[in-house]
Amino acid sequence: MRLSTPALVLVASALALSGCASIEALRAPPPAQHSESRTEDRDTVAAVFMAGTFQSMQHLAQAAPAEQAEIFTAARDAYDRTPQGSAKLRYALMLATPGHPARDPELSRKLLRELAAQPEVLQPLERAVTLVELAQINKELELKTENERLSQSGETRADRDHNAAAQRRLQTEMDDNARLRKQLEDAQAKLDAIANIERNLTQRKSANEGGQP
**Is-contact 86 30, C-beta < 8 A?**
yes
**Amino acid, res. 107:** L
**Amino acid, res. 125:** L
Residue 175 lies in a domain: no
**Is-contact 53 22, C-beta < 8 A?**
no
**Is-contact 79 115, C-beta < 8 A?**
no
* pLDDT, position 69: 94
**Is-contact 130 108, C-beta < 8 A?**
no
* pLDDT, position 18: 40
Specify the range with the lowest mean pLDDT, choosing from 28-32, 99-103, 135-139, 163-167.
Answer: 28-32
Q: How far apart are CA 143 and CA 146, in angstroms?
A: 5
31: helix, strand or coil: coil
Nearest to 92 by CA among 126, 62, 125: 126
DSSP 61-115: HHS-HHHHHHHHHHHHHHHHHS-SHHHHHHHHHHHH-SSSTT--HHHHHHHHHHH
Residue 42 lies in a domain: yes
Residue 197 lies in a domain: no
Cα 10-74-84 angle, rounded to 5 deg: 75
Return the axis-axis angle of helices 85-96 and 105-116, rounded to nearest 10°. Answer: 150
Residue 213 lies in a domain: no
Q: How many domains does the chain have?
A: 1
The predicted-structure confidence for 63-93, as pLDDT tens digits, reads as follows 999 999 999 999 999 999 999 999 999 999 9
Sign of CA dihedral 114, 120, 123, 128: positive
Give the helix/strand (H/E) hosting 32: none
Output the CA torsion 17→23→26→28 (10° steps).
-90
Residue 101 lies in a domain: yes
Structural domain span for residue 126: 5-145
Is the pTM value of this prediction over 0.75?
A: no
* pLDDT, position 30: 53
* pLDDT, position 164: 77
Q: Considering the chain, what is the average pLDDT of its residues?
A: 77
In percent, the amount of the chain with pLDDT more than 90 equals 34
The predicted-structure confidence for 191-203, as pLDDT tens digits, reads as follows 777 777 877 777 7
Residue 205 lies in a domain: no
Nearest to 58 by CA among 87, 22, 86, 25: 22
Residue 173 lies in a domain: no
Residue 181 lies in a domain: no
